[in-house]
């Protein structure tokens, strides 16, 4: 079924927003609820590895069609990460879900974010401290993730360099998020020690 859907996606020009949302919604299912509802099933009881079949299928589609879907995925995130109006009130909960979803997508299919990562890079430069903090946390998690098919610091070097610059952020909250990401980054990518230390290579 995954192969059939992947072929259908590759043969089309772009996917309707509803279809993109259905695919991406499978990754949100992993988001831990703030308050567990009565009789709610734990993720780990859903099957091998704790992933439902719909998640496995969505992951396969994202991997098989990463290049084709990257633009549609970017369109999906652009409305949340970069609102049309600078005066528009920021919905922090929506932003948190969006950044969580980006991290999940990176683990599943790093290359599908090729058009989305510049949005995160723009967030790293925004004046809004909450947005900057979420972006620093999100990029830090991706840079510190073990993903066999990608190295964030190489694949998305421009965004990585923008993240490095947040070590001197004017906000203590952002600087703390930056520091919290370091253990995983250094544990999984020893090659960036000089980058972290600010030593020219």
Burial letters 31-70, b for 16+ CB under 10 A, else e: eeeeeeeeeeeebeebeeeebeeebbbbbbbbbbbbebbb
Rounded to 10 degrees, the C-alpha dihedral 145/147/148/149 comes to: -130
Taking residues 154-164, what's their average pLDDT? 97
Tell me: the pLDDT tens digits for 67-122? 999 999 999 999 888 765 555 678 889 999 999 999 999 999 999 999 999 999 99
Tell me: the pLDDT tens digits for 16-35? 889 999 999 999 876 555 55
pTM for the whole structure: 0.86
């Amino acid at each position: 079924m995954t192969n059939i859907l992947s072929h259908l996606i590759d043969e089309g020009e772009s996917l309707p927003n509803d279809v993109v949302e259905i695919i991406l919604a499978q990754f949100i299912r992993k988001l831990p609820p703030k308050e567990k509802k009565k009789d709610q099933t734990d993720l780990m009881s859903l099957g091998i590895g704790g992933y439902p079949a719909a998640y496995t299928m969505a992951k396969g589609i994202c991997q098989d069609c990463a290049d084709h879907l990257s633009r549609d995925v970017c369109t999906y995130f652009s409305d949340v990460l970069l609102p049309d109006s600078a005066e528009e009130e920021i919905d922090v909960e929506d932003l948190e879900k969006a950044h969580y979803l980006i991290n999940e997508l990176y683990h599943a299919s790093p290359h599908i974010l090729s058009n989305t990562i510049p949005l995160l890079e723009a967030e790293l430069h925004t004046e809004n401290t909450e947005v900057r903090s979420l972006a620093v946390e999100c990029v830090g998690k991706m840079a510190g993730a073990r993903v066999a098919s990608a190295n964030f610091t190489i694949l998305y070097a421009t965004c990585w360099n923008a993240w490095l610059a947040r070590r001197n952020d004017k906000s203590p909250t952002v600087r703390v998020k930056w520091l919290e990401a370091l253990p995983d980054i250094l544990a999984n990518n020893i090659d960036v020690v000089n980058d972290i230390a600010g030593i020219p290579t």
